[in-house]
Amino acid sequence: MRMLSTLLLLLLLPGLTFADELSFEPQELKTELGVGYAVRLLDMNGDDKLDICIVDQQRILWLENPSWTEHEILGPGQTNADNVAFAPADINGDGQLDFAVAAGWGGGKTQRGTIQWITSEGAKGDHWNVHPIRNEHSTHRIRFANVLGDEKPELIIGPLFGPGTTGPHFAESGVRLIALEIPKNPTSDQWPVHMIDNSLHVMHNFLPIDFTGNGKTDIISASYEGIYLHELQEDGTWQKSQLGSGDQESSPSRGASEVKVGRLANGDRYIATIEPWHGNQIVVYTKPEDQPLRSLWTRHVLDDQLKWGHAVWCANLDDDADEELVIGVRDDQTDSTRRGLRIFDPQDAKGSQFQRTVIDPGAVAIEDLAVGDLNGDGKADVVAVGRQTHNAKIYWNKTQ
Domains of the chain, CATH where assigned: 47-311 (2.130.10)
In sequence order, the β-bridge partners of residue 355 are 10, 345
Q: What is the dihedral of CA 32, 33, 38, 41, to 10 degrees?
A: -20
Burial 232-266, CB ≥16 within 10 A → b, else e:
beeeeebebbebbbbbeeeeebbbbbbbbbbbbee
Q: How far is CA 274 from CA 65, 236, 246, in A?
A: 31, 31, 9
User: What does the DSSP assignment read for 319-361?
Assistant: SSSS-EEEEEEEE-SSSSS--EEEEEEE-STTS--EEEEEEST
CB 382 within 8 A of CB 396: no
List strands edge to edge, sheet with 281-286. Answer: 260-263, 269-275, 281-286, 298-303
Alpha-carbon Rg for the chain in angstroms: 20
Burial 279-314, CB ≥16 within 10 A → b, else e:
bbbbbbbbbeeeeeeeebbbbbebbebbbbbbbbbb
Angle at 108 between CA 134 and CA 145, to 5 degrees: 45
Q: How far is CA 154 from CA 44, 124, 187, 239, 260, in A?
A: 21, 28, 15, 18, 20
DSSP H helices in the chain: none
Query: Phi, psi at residue 141, to the nearest 5°?
Result: -135, 140
Q: Is the peptide bond before 168 cis (omega within 30 degrees of 0)?
A: yes
For residues 347 and 357, what is the distance between their CA atoms, to the nearest angstrom? 13
Beta 38-42 vs 51-55: how paired, if at all? antiparallel
Confidence at residue 326, expressed as pLDDT on a 0 to 100 scale: 98
For residues 59 and 79, what is the distance between their CA atoms, to the nearest angstrom? 9
Confidence at residue 328, expressed as pLDDT on a 0 to 100 scale: 98
Confidence at residue 20, expressed as pLDDT on a 0 to 100 scale: 61
DSSP type of residue 373 = -
User: What does the DSSP assignment read for 5-38?
Assistant: PPEEEE-S-TT----PPP-EEEEE-S---S---E
Confidence at residue 17, expressed as pLDDT on a 0 to 100 scale: 33
Confidence at residue 109, expressed as pLDDT on a 0 to 100 scale: 58
Confidence at residue 1, expressed as pLDDT on a 0 to 100 scale: 38
At 124 the three-state DSSP class reads coil
For the chain, what is the total number of helices (H) and then of strands (E)? Answer: 0, 29
Confidence at residue 108, expressed as pLDDT on a 0 to 100 scale: 55
Mean pLDDT in runs of 10 for the chain (400 residues)? 35 38 97 98 98 97 98 97 97 97 78 91 93 95 97 96 93 97 97 98 98 97 98 97 98 97 96 97 96 97 96 97 97 95 93 93 98 98 98 97
Confidence at residue 107, expressed as pLDDT on a 0 to 100 scale: 61
User: How far is CA 296 from its chain centroid?
Assistant: 23
